[in-house]
Amino acid sequence: MRKKHNISHLIPKNHFCSLSLFREEPLINWTFTKSVLFTAYDVYRSNDFWLDSVIHSGATLKEAMVDLGFPKTNTMIADTGIFEMEAKKAGIARNLGIDIEIELSNDQIFEAYDLSGADYFVSPDVIVLPTDNPQTVRSKVDTIMDNLVELLQRVNPSKVIAVIQGHQTQIIDEQIDFYKENDVRCYAMGGVIPLYHHDKKLLEEVLSHVRKETRCGWLHVFGLPRISLLPYYLRDMEFDSVDTSMLLYMSARRRYLDGLKPIPVKDAIFEECDCVGCTRLAELKQATRSPDFFVNLYIHNIKAAARESLRLSENILDIEEIRIESSESSSSAQTKHPELDTFDLKWMRADEVMSDNNE
């Protein structure tokens, strides 16, 4: 029987370092899932004065968020942001025809981890592509295992999430055995989206094998190329959790989740949903370009996906994962966010790499 962890089945990425709307009501109260994920990349790309003030105060990021209203009992997971960096790099290169470097060293990642005050830390990994030759795969896996050893010098194994990369059984088993030898029992499958686009049958074989070999621990999957894959990950493959920025990008595109089907907001019937987001969306129906509309659309999309993830999971650990927001939270959803004026342009290019355009 797997150990219980205070981790949601659905883990949205929380960009509180670089977007102030995550540090204000109603999002700061975060009543949607019991865990969120943020990245070292988000720390380093931020030019927000709030982050500077936290660093100078000596507080951790989680302590600073709790002071603003973030629930202390909610779990924060710190990740490197490697996939987002690679996706943005690829997107910018494709759109502008130039070659740029967006890199973080382990020292920089661990410095962000030390600052974070997070509850779990993802070991730095390297994305193994399905087209990599054996020498490249070997080099990447050696780096991944070296990174884990380096992280374990700073963090207790019980707080580490070790990433599994690759698509060959021998390589996968080598990593899992190494993690178990180092007393790590939380795992994550990485490199999923490149493999999804390369060979879906191979992806299914890899996921099935990884789940079989990690029954003793918690298994997370990085990457949700389509929101409709939630049932596949959580029910069919029996993964314990999945993280995503998809809901943020979907909301920026003004897409509304009807179950697990994204539809244009013009086709949504807000009155048919009882979430606090839809209550506000019904009032803002004629202001679809406003920041308030975006925030409440995002709230609905999180709630809808979280409900589905809870329903789909065969190992529901905590029925309280979905909480009922108070009317006070509803009235606080009117905060203005000037930075959203350029939100679509800021995020969409990365999204073209990280999600399926048909969703």
Sheet containing 160-164: order of strands: 10-12, 241-244, 218-222, 186-189, 160-164, 120-122, 75-79, 35-39
Find all residues with CB under 8 Å of 243, minimum gap 6, and list them.
Answer: 10, 11, 12, 13, 37, 77, 79, 220, 222, 224
Look at residue 4 and tell me if it is in a domain. no
**pLDDT score recorded for residue 102:** 58
Look at residue 359 and tell me if it is in a domain. no
On whether the pTM is more than 0.85, the answer is no
Calpha distance 51→16 (Å, rounded): 9
- Please name which of 113, 138, 12, 117 lies closest in space to residue 65, comparing C-alpha atoms: 117
Q: Are 69 and 329 in contact (CB under 8 A)?
A: no
**pLDDT score recorded for residue 82:** 67
Look at residue 113 and tell me if it is in a domain. yes
Look at residue 209 and tell me if it is in a domain. yes
Q: Give the count of alpha carbons within 13 A of 34, CB side only.
A: 17
Look at residue 328 and tell me if it is in a domain. yes
Look at residue 256 and tell me if it is in a domain. yes
CATH number for 282? 3.20.20.105
Look at residue 219 and tell me if it is in a domain. yes
Look at residue 3 and tell me if it is in a domain. no
**pLDDT score recorded for residue 196:** 87
**Exposed / middle / buried, residue 89 (Cβ in 10 Å: 0-12, 13-18, 19+):** middle
Which domain covers residue 189, as residue numbers?
10-354
**pLDDT score recorded for residue 162:** 98
Query: Domain tally for the chain?
Result: 1
Residuewise pLDDT in 10s, the chain (359 residues): 455 567 889 999 999 999 999 999 999 999 999 999 999 999 988 888 999 999 999 999 999 999 999 999 999 999 998 655 444 444 443 443 434 455 788 999 999 999 999 999 999 999 999 999 999 999 999 999 999 999 999 999 999 999 999 999 999 999 999 999 999 999 999 999 889 889 999 999 999 999 999 998 999 999 887 888 899 999 999 999 999 888 998 999 999 999 999 999 999 999 999 999 999 999 887 777 889 999 999 999 999 999 998 887 644 444 334 333 433 444 444 444 444 443 333 333 333 333 334 44
Cβ count within 10 A of residue 180: 16
Q: What is the largest CA-CA distance in the chain?
A: 58
**pLDDT score recorded for residue 84:** 57
